[in-house]
Amino acid sequence: MASAFLTHHQKVLRLYKKSLRHLESWSDNRHDYRFHACVLRGRFDDNLAEKDMVKATMLLKTGEEEFWTKQHPAPYIFPDSPGGTSYERYECYKVPEWVLEHWHPSEKAVYPDYFSKREQWKKLRLESWDKETEALPPARIDGDLPPLWWQIVTRPRAKAHKPPPGWKAISTTPPSARTPSVKKDL
pLDDT per position as a tens digit, 48-98: 988 999 999 999 999 999 999 999 999 999 998 888 888 888 877 888 888
Residues 6+ apart with CB under 8 A from 94: 156
DSSP 8-state assignment for residue 90 = T
Rounded-to-integer distance, Cα 76 and Cα 84, Å: 9
Q: How far is CA 65 from CA 70, 91, 122, 176, in A?
A: 9, 37, 50, 7
Is the predicted pLDDT of residue 171 greater than 60, yes or no? no
Q: Are 44 and 16 in contact (CB under 8 A)?
A: yes
- C-alpha gyration radius of the chain: 24
pLDDT at residue 1 in the model: 46
pLDDT at residue 138 in the model: 64
Is the predicted pLDDT of residue 39 greater than 50, yes or no? yes
DSSP 8-state assignment for residue 141 = S
For the CA atoms of 115, 121, 123, 125, what is the dihedral angle to 10 degrees?
Answer: -150
